[in-house]
Structure 1
Amino acid sequence: MSNFNTSRREFLRISSLLSSAGALGVAAPFAINLATVASAAAQNNSGDYKALVCLFLYGANDHANTVLATDSESWNQYLNVRTTNEAGSIALPAVGATGGVLAITPNTAQAGRSFALHPNMPELRNLFNAGRAAILANVGPLVVPTTLTQYKAASVPLPPKLFSHNDQQSLWQAYAPEGAAYGWGGRMGDLLASNNSNPIFTAISASGNAVFLSGRSVKQYQVGSSGAVAIAGLSGSLYGSTMAGSTLRNIITSDSTNYFQKEHAATTSRAIAAQSMLAPAMAAAGPTGIPNPTQYTNPNTGALANNALAVQLQTVARIIAGRNALGAKRQVFFVSLGGFDTHDSQRTQQADLLARVSHAIAYFDTTMANVMGSDLRQQVTLFTASDFGRTFTSNGDGTDHGWGSHHFIVGGAVKGKDIYGSFPVTGLKHTLDVGSGSLLPQFSVDQYGATLGTWFGLSPTQINDVFPNITNFGNRNLGFI
């Protein structure tokens, strides 16, 4: 016990959590051994904790107005294609112009190229310049490395149901079209959940159900903006009776010979036990715990507004703050923001959406720098994903469905201030243009995920298990973390 460094306060906190769970009278699989949890918490204090946070941009973010090439040749092509009628033009102002794109200078030069971010992402530009954010250029679902000639001839296996929202969301999250059962976040959880004393807190969504977090054994745990969601009516007075709550608890958790009732009771028991543990383990929201996000400025109105994405990330931070009490050493989280299907009014809609993304990510980075006195930026990595990219051509005042897209990776472990991969040629009719400027990806989602998974602690064998197509690609670690 010489390495048992858990403080008396932490020990008592864990004891109270277990007492709460035990008082529920739940089934044996959800009971937790005190010594095991306390030992796990002691190990957590050594700093062996890592978390991945997936930020999914539902609807398909327009990558070409998010990360831009601004050298003369690229910018001229950009203006030529993306400038339409004055009212509906989706072209953004140049670097230095009022409301212009924000220049960035990657550490690794790409001959003759210069780059910028969307005008409403100043916080993310600051993170990039500080070396805590990187960009992965042109990533998307692939089965094998694919050339434009092979794509047009369909001479190699191609991802199914390209350009379909629901199917491509599922392909990004779970390597199969809509209806997939297991996501790569959940599969990572399956393989690393043994590091956690209670596996139920391995895969957690602050944004509803997501196939990304579904594992074969690990089940995703969903939380709301205020944290763990309790089953109503189990405590206090119910219908004027102080006894009705316990009666209801017995009804919904009692074992049964009926398989459906038995599974329902087990699931309910697990939910009750988990809520009773997570609620007191989470840090408070506000000055005494995890700071509340500031409001962001809506770039279209100039008005201050609450940012629901930042609130989701606050919930994630509050759970991370309780990692020791929960005995968690590896956790995968999911947050999201919708509205990116910008067939119309793209310039206005995307401006507000990307302002929220930038504000929320910066809030999360600042929060991770001081999680109840601990700097966890080195141990927590956030990455973005989306259905697909969009066409480079405009349909008038928006864009249509595409394929490859650019994405951000943020955290202290990230090899930041760089763009990974060759930034695509700006314009049309080039070697990656599958039509209307939609990009044929140069990197697969498998490579993206495998790089994150390696940092997270997966072995090469486990990487092969989680990412079924990774053996088709020579480069399985893209080096951004």
Structure 2
Amino acid sequence: MNRRDFIKLGSAAIATSGLMNVSQSAHALSIPTGDYKALVCIFLLGGNDGFNMVVPTSDFDYNEYAASRQNMAIAKADLLPVSPLSHGGSSFGFHPQLSELQGLFNNGKVAVMSNVGNLVEPITRQQFLDHSKPLPDQLFSHNDQQDQWRYVDPQVQKSGLGGRVMDLAVANNQDPLLTGIAIDGRTNWLSSQLNLDLSIGRNGFDQYGYVAPDKSWTQNRRAAFKELLSNNYNDPFTDEFKGLQSRTMDLVERVGAQIDTVPEFTTIKPEGSLATKLEMVAKLIAIRAELGMERQVFYVGMGGFDTHDAHINTQQQLFTELSQSMNYFYDVTTELGVQNNVTSFTSSEFGRTLTSNGDGTDHAWGNHQLVMGGAVRGGDIYGQVPSLEIDGPDDANNDGRIIPTTSVEQFMVSPLRWFGLTDSELNSVMPNLSSFDANAVDFML
């Protein structure tokens, strides 16, 4: 741990202790008693190729797609057909490895958000070429665009979008360490200036194993560690860090014990790390009442989407895991009876170029995303489906880098309203929302 991380951890400890009750200054969500809701962000790291995930299949549109995608195109006969409710008979197909998601779409449990991406304000192709509108910094950079998506406004915000939503939920006197949870590593999406977010391993807690209470060989070590934590220290910072260790150790053992009581789900879990991570999210949701939770935000990452080469084969493997894992998670939430209380959505820093680099694709911009849950108006594609013509009206620079027609802020309005945020709170957590039509899309019941 470097000095900067140590100071940040100490500051977060103070914010979550009784010494500085800053979280209570945040406006509390208006939550009816017993009304539980969770948002689950599934971040596809590396830049998912959304335009091979959902493909137009009418003759004209598919021919345009095939001409642009070249050897990256999916054969029309292989696509899994879907009929969006609001597209006037236009036909589309899911990638052949997304059969589970096709089923959820056809059953009204999954929706597609078309051509969403990072924007500062709406922009046309001509405005992009003229440099007459501001653009996100370092537009095609992984790290910068991941930060843009997670912070929404990284030049101004010092906390993540999920973290700011978490702060509103914590103001309802929820335990801050259990309100915003990432699986397998912390994320800027959940970073907060008021409260400390939590990371849990995909298989549970692994911290404090060296002083576990249920192993004979750890007892002397545990006693020595407990004695250190019981001492008073002259330095208030050290004393507060001691307090953070005590609270974290208590939380790990208390919540870990609760997780262990969750019965095995009857839904069969597919192979892959994403399903295991989502299983841990489901276990935490299963013990929501024991933990006193009414609102939670979760973050799960899935890597491998930076397909500069071996694009077709890699995408088949990634989409197989994504489809099976998301379907598994929906079935588990149904098993728990909370399918209407949990909304999951995919995110990715950017899409891929329509053009091929020979064996793969390169960094691009606009992208399709998925939204899943019992409270989703599924079976439809929302937003503006772009032209996939190279050098066409939606192509930024002749490489098939599609300009987004829906901003990340607009994409998030609908699930955040469902979560309980008012219009005022939406503008607070997404300051750039005023640059866009906040009512452009509504995919939640």
TM-score normalised over the length of structure 1: 0.82
Distance 2:220 2:32 in 1: 42
Q: Is the CA contact 1:451–1:478 (under 8 Å) kept in the aligned structure 2? A: yes
Aligned match for 1:351, one of 300, 316, 319: 316
Equivalent residue of 2:431, what SS?
Answer: coil
Structure 2 counterpart of 1:405, which letter?
N
Q: Is residue 93 of structure 1 aligned with residue 93 of structure 2?
A: no
User: Which residue does the alignment assign to 2:296?
Assistant: 331
Distance 2:155 2:211 in 1: 36
Distance 1:254 1:222 in 2: 27
Q: Is the CA contact 2:176–2:197 (under 8 Å) kept in the aligned structure 1? A: no
Q: Trace 1:13-24 onto structure 2 (pairs within 5 A).
A: none
Equivalent residue of 1:382, what SS?
Answer: strand
Distance 1:46 1:415 in 2: 25
Q: Is residue 116 of structure 1 aligned with residue 81 of structure 2?
A: no
Q: CA deviation at 1:232?
A: 2.7
Q: CA deviation at 1:63?
A: 1.1
Q: CA deviation at 1:46?
A: 5.8
Question: What does the per-residue CA deviation read over 1:314-365, in whole Å, with 9 as the maximum and x for residues that have no partner?
Answer: 0000000000000000000011110000010100001000110000000001
Structure with bigger gyration radius:
1
Q: CA deviation at 1:72?
A: 0.8
Question: What does the per-residue CA deviation read over 1:19-66, in whole Å, with 9 as the maximum and x for residues that have no partner?
Answer: xxxxxxx999769xxxxxxxxxxxx99640000000000000011111
User: Which residue does the alignment assign to 1:5?
Assistant: none
Aligned match for 1:419, one of 363, 369, 381: 381
Structure 1 pair 238–311 and aligned structure 2 pair: CA distance change class (3 A): closer
Structure 1 pair 275–178 and aligned structure 2 pair: CA distance change class (3 A): farther
Structure 1 pair 429–198 and aligned structure 2 pair: CA distance change class (3 A): same
Distance 1:476 1:65 in 2: 28
Q: Is the CA contact 2:159–2:188 (under 8 Å) kept in the aligned structure 1? A: yes
Q: CA deviation at 1:442?
A: 0.5
User: Which residue does the alignment assign to 1:430?
Assistant: 392
Distance 1:283 1:476 in 2: 43
Q: Trace 1:265-276 onto structure 2 (pairs within 5 A).
A: 265-276=242-253
Q: Trace 1:108-257 onto structure 2 (pairs within 5 A).
A: 108-110=86-88, 113-177=90-154, 181-236=158-213, 242-252=219-229, 254-257=231-234
Q: Trace 1:390-405 onto structure 2 (pairs within 5 A).
A: 390-405=352-367
Question: What does the per-residue CA deviation read over 1:249-285, in whole Å, with 9 as the maximum and x for residues that have no partner?
Answer: 3325645343552343233122112112211222646
Aligned-residue sequence identity (percent) comes to 36
Aligned match for 1:453, one of 412, 416, 430: 416
Q: CA deviation at 1:461?
A: 1.1
Structure 1 pair 464–196 and aligned structure 2 pair: CA distance change class (3 A): same
Structure 2 counterpart of 1:224, which letter?
G
User: Which residue does the alignment assign to 1:389?
Assistant: 351
Q: Is the CA contact 1:161–1:168 (under 8 Å) kept in the aligned structure 2? A: yes
User: Which residue does the alignment assign to 1:300?
Assistant: none
User: Which residue does the alignment assign to 1:105?
Assistant: 83
User: Which residue does the alignment assign to 1:317?
Assistant: 282
Structure 1 counterpart of 2:433, which letter?
I
Q: Is the CA contact 1:391–1:400 (under 8 Å) kept in the aligned structure 2? A: yes
Structure 1 pair 190–29 and aligned structure 2 pair: CA distance change class (3 A): closer
Q: CA deviation at 1:236?
A: 4.8
Distance 1:190 1:148 in 2: 38
RMSD across aligned positions (CA): 2.6
Q: CA deviation at 1:179?
A: 11
Q: Is the CA contact 2:267–2:331 (under 8 Å) kept in the aligned structure 1? A: no
Structure 1 pair 103–323 and aligned structure 2 pair: CA distance change class (3 A): same
Structure 1 pair 233–179 and aligned structure 2 pair: CA distance change class (3 A): farther
Distance 2:325 2:273 in 1: 9
Structure 1 pair 460–73 and aligned structure 2 pair: CA distance change class (3 A): same
Count of residues in correspondence between the two structures: 420
Q: Is the CA contact 2:178–2:198 (under 8 Å) kept in the aligned structure 1? A: yes
Q: CA deviation at 1:293?
A: 4.2
Distance 2:255 2:324 in 1: 27
Aligned match for 1:80, one of 67, 90, 100: 67
Distance 2:246 2:208 in 1: 10
Distance 1:241 1:206 in 2: 27
Q: Is the CA contact 1:237–1:244 (under 8 Å) kept in the aligned structure 2? A: no
Q: CA deviation at 1:197?
A: 3.3
Aligned match for 1:441, one of 367, 391, 404: 404
Structure 1 counterpart of 2:374, which letter?
G
Unaligned runs of 5+ in 2: 1-12, 19-30
Distance 1:171 1:139 in 2: 13
Considering fraction of residues, name the structure with more helix. Answer: 2
Q: CA deviation at 1:198?
A: 1.5
Aligned match for 2:54, one of 67, 75, 100: 67
Q: CA deviation at 1:433?
A: 0.6
Equivalent residue of 1:222, what SS?
Answer: strand
